[in-house]
Structures are given as structure tokens and as C-alpha cells.
């Protein structure tokens, strides 16, 4: 069955991407913290810039979330304009096979 995506709600897209980007940032946050700690220990005269980089990485999920929201709204708005000209993205969808439910376990 063919379906056509002709509109994306900008705020819903922005909120979804904000949450997605913030979760991605939470996953990569430990790597930034480790890099900041290693850089502060290995720094020549002063490891302060590297230490500040590591501490500043704590704000990474917030920054990614805000940027995800902003660019999600902009992307959805632009997509909606382009979809008016081109008709949108055409998708082919299939119904999923029904999941078989295992029989209940016998009770003693």
C-alpha cells in the first residue's frame, strides 16, 4: 500500500528531535568528560582549558536538545514547503504479520 507524507507538524518534529539529540548527547557525554579529564592531566602548563571542556560537556545534552528543536522545526517547515511543490515523499507500507501469542503456561 502506498502512502504519501505531505505534512510534518513542525513543533512535534522539533520536540521529537530535541529529545533524540539530548539522548544522543547523554550517550556521548562520558567520552567528553573522560577526554576533558585526560586533557587536564596531560596539559603542559595548565590543563585548565581541557578541564573546563570536560566540565562544560555536562551542558552538552541541553545544547543538543535546543539545537535539535530549532533545526527540527526549521527542517519540518522547509519539508512542508517542498512537499507542496513535489507532492511529498511516497512510502510503500506493508501490514506486519500478526504476532503469534504463546499459549499460557500450565498451572500446577
Cell numbers linked to 8: 510534518
Cell numbers linked to 78: 522547509
Q: Look at residue 29 in the predicted model and tell me its pLDDT.
A: 83
Read off the pTM. 0.65
Q: Look at residue 46 in the predicted model and tell me its pLDDT.
A: 62
Chain segment 52-63, per-residue pLDDT in tens:
666 777 788 888
Q: Look at residue 44 in the predicted model and tell me its pLDDT.
A: 58
Alpha helix (H) residue ranges in the chain: 10-42, 48-56, 60-86
Closest C-alpha to 34, from 55, 61, 65: 55
Chain segment 6-31, per-residue pLDDT in tens:
999 999 999 999 999 999 988 888 88
Chain segment 33-87, per-residue pLDDT in tens:
787 777 667 665 566 666 666 677 778 888 889 999 999 999 999 999 999 999 9
Q: Look at residue 45 in the predicted model and tell me its pLDDT.
A: 58
- How far is residue 76's CA from residue 18's CA, in Å, rounded to a whole number? 13
Is the model's pLDDT at 103 over the cut of 90? no
Q: Structural domain boundaries of the chain?
A: 15-92
Is the model's pLDDT at 95 over the cut of 90? no
Residue 89: phi, psi to the nearest 5? Answer: -85, 130
Residue with cell 515523499: 89
Residue 4: strand pairing partners = 90
- How far is residue 65's CA from residue 20's CA, in Å, rounded to a whole number? 8
Q: Look at residue 53 in the predicted model and tell me its pLDDT.
A: 67
Amino acid at each position: 500500500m502506498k502512502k504519501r507524507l505531505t505534512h510534518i507538524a513542525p513543533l512535534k518534529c522539533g520536540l521529537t528531535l530535541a529529545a533524540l539529540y539530548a539522548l544522543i548527547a547523554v550517550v556521548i557525554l562520558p567520552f567528553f568528560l573522560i577526554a576533558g579529564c585526560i586533557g587536564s592531566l596531560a596539559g603542559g602548563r595548565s590543563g585548565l582549558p581541557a578541564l573546563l571542556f570536560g566540565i562544560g560537556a555536562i551542558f552538552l545534552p541541553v545544547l543538543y536538545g535546543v539545537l535539535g528543536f530549532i533545526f527540527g522545526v526549521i527542517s519540518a517547515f522547509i519539508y512542508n514547503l517542498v512537499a507542496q511543490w513535489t507532492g511529498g515523499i511516497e512510502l510503500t507500507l506493508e501490514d506486519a504479520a500478526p504476532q503469534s501469542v504463546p499459549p499460557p503456561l500450565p498451572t500446577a
